[in-house]
Every structure is written in structure tokens, then in C-alpha cells.
Amino acid sequence: MKKIKITESYIHGTVSFEKGKDFIKPWRIPFDKIDIYSPKGISLRDKADKPSGVRLSFKTTSKNIQVELLVIAGNDDDFSFDIYLDKIFYKTISKRNKLIINDLTNKNKLIEIWLPQFNITKLKNIIIDDGAKIDIYKDTRKKWITYGSSITHCRGAHSPSKTWPVYVAIKNNLNLLSLGFGGDCHIDGMIAKLIRDTKADYISLKLGINVYGASSLSERTFKTSILNFVDTIREKHKKTPIVLISPIYSSSRETTENSVGMTLVKMREDVKKVYNIFKKLGDNNIYYVDGLKLFNEKNKKNLPDDLHPDGDGYLILGENFSKQVVKKFFK
């Protein structure tokens, strides 16, 4: 069998890479500017190296495939990889050091391996049969960037391809870049610049729940931060559809004020006000979706901690997102 070193060209759904002597590690913020995006002590860096929505993709005629890697799971050993053959689900594998896929056909086929959404993964080598060929896969599908919190990061999904953004991307044939950062969706200006500078056909921004939880923005700053965020993106994405999405349901947060007087009801009103401002200024490619259309009180049985959907809940959210966002606004 022959060994091929994994390089950037094999990895999709990421922003940058950290390179070691024998590994490459995907990051969902620019690694060379990490201290600007997330100074030490700011936890964004601890979420951006967890590869939610990231996949290893290539085409090969090999009947037998091995992938050498290292999963760094810490105290959390609940991780897995989802394998797809020609965009059809094949199997889920939970291995820390090597993935083995045997007894495939020798036709040229697309292999997509979705990485664990909440575990650091260092990629090393692909091993294929002697005489088999391997080719870079170029993803030419429409590119969708989605930004959000732990509800977009989806730690509790059944497996990596069952996070709601990946579910939506597979269902609707989209090239996904998921900027879901658990606990760290605070409408940061550097993330707006990242989205501004990244090619995209569609953009969705699911805003509010982390701001509520950390009381990181007040009534004075919440709307203005979203306005600045969207205006920054519009510097280069002049006509790209942008969908603003307010928080999903959480019974204990709907009308209970946080330490700066914000509630989820108030946040939904404010996100819609931002949408109305841009529409009044002539932006015909901005849209608003009430988060309750994606996940509401009827779905509370799939909200075990009154904040995060469970595995089935993420699939419900993905199905509703496909209906309420993709079918209506991704044209």
C-alpha cells in the first residue's frame, strides 16, 4: 500500500491550518492571526479548532483505505467520524488513531469523511492500495457560511453529519463553512471581517443566545453590533443573500431579564429591527427569520437542558431550516 500526506487540498469546510512535523490541523478562524481573533484567555480559540462541519474529501479507485490521524478528546471520548461514498452515507467509525475502510469497489469514487464536531483532530496520511489512484476533490457547489453559537456547533448531535448545518448542507447540496462556536457567538467584529473576506453564495447569522447568556451586549449595543456586523460583510458581499435569525425557544429565557435587561423576546424584536433598517436603506437581499419558526415550544421535549437541542432536535432544526430558510432565500 502507498501513503499520501494529507495537505490543505484534501480538507474542506475550514478557514486555515496549523502545520506540524507530521500533521495538519484545521482551524475555523485564521490560525496566523489567532491572537487578534482570540487573545489568550478568550475561549473562541478553544472552539475554533474543533472541526464542526469540516471534512476530508478525495476521489480514489482504491478498494482499501486507511487514514492516519490523532483525535485529542481530553476527558470527552464521545467522538466519531461519518463516512460517505459518492455522497451516500456508508458508516460511522469511532477510532482515535486510524480509520480503516475495506472491501470497496475499484471504481473512482468520492470519499467524504466528516470530522468529530467537538474534538481536536490532527490529520496525517491517507493510505491506499498499490496501483490505485487518488485525486483532489474540488467542491463546486454553492457555498454557504453560517455563524452561530453552540446550537450551531452541535456538540450533542448524533454524529458529525447529523449536526443541523451538515444535515442542511447534505440535503440541499451545499458547500458548508460552519462558524458555530459554542459559547462564543458574540457578534465579534473579526468574525464579520472573516465572513466579508470569504467567498460565499449564501450567509446565515443565527444571533442572540450567547449574548443573552454572557450579558455581553446590552440594549444599547446589541442592535448596533449587528448593524456593524452586517454592514462589514456587505463591503464585499454586495448582493449575497444574508439571513438574520433570532434565538430559538428557551422557556426560562423568553421573558426573564439577564443582568443587562435583555430577554429572548426583546432580542427577536431587535434582530427584526436591524433587518428593517437595512430593508429601508434598499438592501433587497437581506432576510429575517424568527428563531421560533425553526424550534419552538412544541419542540421542548427535544430541548433537555432548556437551551440545546438533543440529537433528534438538531435534525428537527435542520429540517425546519431547510424549509424556512434554504427553500425561501437560497436562490
Give one word for 66, left, alpha or beta, with left for phi > 0 and alpha for psi -120 to 50: beta
At residue 77 the predicted structure's pLDDT band, cuts being 50, 70 and 90, is confident
In sign, the C-alpha dihedral spanning 30, 36, 40, 44 is: negative
User: Would you state the pLDDT for residue 115?
Assistant: 98
pLDDT value for 78:
81
Q: Quote the pTM value.
A: 0.97
Structure confidence by residue, pLDDT tens digits, 42-64: 999 999 999 999 999 999 999 99
Model pLDDT for residues 133-152, shown as the tens digit of each residue:
999 999 999 999 999 999 99
pLDDT(75) > 70: no
Look up residue 62 and give its DSSP letter. -
Between CA 240 and CA 195 the distance in angstroms is 11
268-299 confidence digits (pLDDT tens): 999 999 999 999 999 999 999 999 999 999 99
Q: Where do the DSSP E strands lie in 259-319?
A: 286-289
pLDDT at 121 over 70: yes
Domain 2-136 CATH superfamily: Galactose-binding domain-like (2.60.120.260)
Pull the grid cell for residue 275: 433587518
Domain parsing of the chain, residue ranges: 2-136, 143-329
Under CATH, what is the fold of the domain 143-329?
Rossmann fold (3.40.50)
In the chain, % of residues over pLDDT 70:
99
Give the model's confidence band at 71: pLDDT under 50 very low, under 70 low, under 90 confident, else very high.
Answer: very high
Q: What are 149's three cell numbers?
A: 453559537
- Over residues 197-236, the pLDDT tens digits come to 999 999 999 999 999 999 999 999 999 999 999 999 999 9
As given in the structure block, the three cell numbers for residue 240 are 449575497
**In Å, what is the CA distance from 224 to each residue of 187, 217, 227, 275, 291?**
10, 10, 5, 12, 20
